Amino acid sequence: SGHSRADPGKYRPDEEVKDWLENKDPITNYRKRLLDYNIDEKVISDIENKIKQEVLQQEIKILPDILCQ
């Protein structure tokens, strides 16, 4: 995939995208790092859930503006 939904990203080889997702994704790597530092899985999951909730709340906030365009 590319930079947006309209960008199919065909300029990047499939192997490069796969490598990035499996080995270089910063979110996945940071999660692994927290586990390596013996941070409890539940603590990490709680943080992830808080972030997801915050993102959702912000999306809901801007939804009326998007719909009225």
Contact 44, 31 (CB under 8 A): yes
Taking only the tens place, the pLDDT of each residue in 36-47 is 999 999 999 999
E strands, 1-69, are: none
Q: How much is the pLDDT for 44?
A: 97
CA distance 19 to 36: 21
Side chain identity at 50, as an amino acid letter? Answer: K
2 token code pair: 């590319």
Taking only the tens place, the pLDDT of each residue in 8-64 is 778 888 899 899 888 999 999 999 999 999 999 999 999 999 999 999 999 999 888
pTM over 0.75: no
Helices (H), the chain: 14-19, 26-36, 41-67
